[in-house]
Every structure is written in C-alpha cells, then in structure tokens.
A and B are shown apart, each in its own frame.
Chain A
C-alpha cells in the first residue's frame, strides 16, 4: 500500500514539474501566451534602441570622409583622412585603402598607415593613408575608390565605395 502510494506520489511530482511552469508562466501574464513566451516589450525596446545605433538613415556613403589633398614626395604619396562616424556605437577601423586617380586615370594605391583606429560613437578620427608612387606627380589627384573594413561588437564589416 505504502509503496504504491509513494510510486504515485513521485509520479505526480514529475507531472507537477512539467505542468507547473506552464501554469505559473501563464498565470503571471493573465493567460497571455505571447507575453509568457516572448521577451517583455521593455527588453525588446532596449534591443531596438541598440540596433538603431547600427543603422545609418541615409546609408553608409562617402560623406563621413574628408580626404585632404594627397602629398607626393620621394616616390611616396601621403593623404590625411578625417572620418566622422555616423554610428551611435564605437567602432574600430582595421583597414582602409583608396585608389587615387588623376584625370580619370588610376595613379596610386594608398593604405592606412596605422594598424587600427578606434572611433568613438558619432566621433571623429584622423589617420593617414600612404602608398608608393613613381613618375611625375599628378596635377589633380583625388581618391576614387575606397575600401573600408571596420569592427563593431567583434563583427567585421567591409564596404567598397566609389567617391568623388
């Protein structure tokens, strides 16, 4: 008799541990299935706010870049760049390369001198692009293609843009 009662008691306990969570969760949310299962609206709003920091309304164009006039000396070309981040979170630029053209002709390829550059949220960073060059210095050099690689939250984004 006792063994049978214990058997049924333990079986019942197992059922309570399975059904109990459903009842507790649904009762806590007035039997609203969605509210019991999915994260709360406040949590989703926090995530949305974080995600909005990653979105650039007008798209990620060349506007954040200010390219100074390239300086040619001793077979080397140097170009100062100012980057103003359109993102609401800090990023790290790990690579930036650009093609310098003169009268529509590619004359040099420049790369970021620094190993990496940290840019604060909506902040500005300055860095230098360097490359080699042979021949007569061009008269009207300007960057035409830009390839930028940056990291945010450990995720790498690589963008190719046509500028100028």
Chain B
C-alpha cells in the first residue's frame, strides 16, 4: 500500500496568512499600542491605529474626525483579516492572491505609521515647539524634553521665582509587540503565497 504523507493529504493552505488573518480580527480589540503620561494624570495619552484616549487633568478629550478615522482603520483591518483567511484557505483559487494581498501589509504599515508619527511628534515637541513659543515665557526659560517613542524625561518651565517640573513617561505596550508579530506574519504570508501562484510562461510570437 502506498503511503501518502500528511502534507500531501492536506489541502494547500497559506498557514502564515491564516494565523495573521485570525490575529487581525482580534488586534483592534486588544488595547492601546503606546501610552504616555505627563505627571500623574495631568495629561494621559493612549494610542493605537484603532483607538485613542486623551485626557487633560482627568477630563477626556475627543475628536469626531479622528474617531471616524480610527473606526475605519478598525473595520479595514478586520475585513482585511477576514479576506486574508479566505485567501489563505484557497491559495490556488483565482481570488486567493488578491484577497491575501489586500490584508497582508495593512498591520505592517500601521506599525510603521505609528512609529513615524511618534518620532515626528517628539521631534516637533523637542525641536520646533520651544522656538515657536519661546516669546510667550517672558523673563523665563522653557526646556521641553519628550521621549522618542519610549522613555522617561523631565520638562521644565521657569518664570521669575517659579519653576514647574513635569515628568513625562512614554512606553510601547505589549499589544504593540503583538502587532509587530501580526505585521511580520502578514509579510511572510504575502511572500509564502508566491509558491501557490504558477509562473506564467511568456508566449512566443508565431
């Protein structure tokens, strides 16, 4: 009797895409990817591409436009995840490649986008903002230090005989690293999917 290996018996599946797709359905509900605090409740900020929480003196602040953008990002990743699962289960079907490609890079670009946003934001607060508002602190000095992505810094404002010192703490959460894993799986799924696509031979002209 001829033995057939398990791999031969199983239908072709893009396993990377299957796992990435399942995680993409969960990721929007896991929580913030990054959080920052000024003092102890003076200002709190928690960010992810799907949600944000900002509060000043324990009063929450929201924006309708940002809220809708994050909702769209949430839906986009969930639909991307569902389509990637479908594409990964039928990798040899004509629609498989298209569906995997739609979802594969979404989380990757979100991870890159968040890091870029944090770097640009910190650069603005550290280098550009002090020059813009230097004239507002008459007879005093202002030293703004915001952590680049992660860390603890202290900002100081000195006016006449008063000195205000504010500790700023920023950190990436464990969910960010889950997102990195999903992003890597998404990229791997896209690369792995090539093995299911037959290369098209160029047609020789008669």
Contact = CB atoms under 8 A, between A and B. Distances in A.
A, B: real partners: yes
Interface in A3-20: 3, 6-7, 10, 13-14, 17-18, 20
Interface in B77-136: 79, 83, 94-95, 98-99, 102
A38 B62 CA distance: 8
A70 to B, nearest CB: 23
Count chain B CB atoms within 10 A of each CB in A37, A47, A60 and give the residue with the most: A47
Interface of A: 2-3, 6-7, 10, 13-14, 17-18, 20-22, 24-26, 28-29, 35-40, 43, 46-47, 50-51, 60, 152-161
Contact of B68 (A21, A38, A157): A21
B16 to A, nearest CB: 20
A2 B97 CA distance: 13
B64 A35 contact: yes
**Main SS class of interface, B:** mixed
A154 to B, nearest CB: 3
Given A13-B79, A28-B64, A47-B56, A155 B164 contact: yes
Interface stretch (B5-13, B18-26, B34-42, B183-191): B34-42
Contacts, number: 105
Contact of B59 (A2, A7, A21, A46): A46
A72 to B, nearest CB: 29
Interface string B61-85: 1111101110111011001000100
Given A14-B102, A36-B65, A154-B40, 19 more contacts: A3-B94, A10-B83, A17-B73, A39-B61, A40-B62, A43-B62, A47-B57, A50-B58, A51-B57, A153-B39, A153-B57, A154-B38, A154-B41, A155-B164, A155-B167, A156-B165, A157-B165, A158-B163, A159-B163
B61 A21 contact: no
A7 B99 CA distance: 9
A107 B157 CA distance: 32
Contacts of B68: 20-22, 24-25
Contacts of B72: 17-18, 20-21
Contacts of A39: 61-63
Given A13-B79, A155-B164, A161-B161, A25 B41 contact: no
Contacts of B167: 154-155
B65 A43 contact: no
A58 to B, nearest CB: 15
A158 B98 contact: no
A64 to B, nearest CB: 15
Count chain B CB atoms within 10 A of each CB in A26, A39, A43 and give the residue with the most: A39
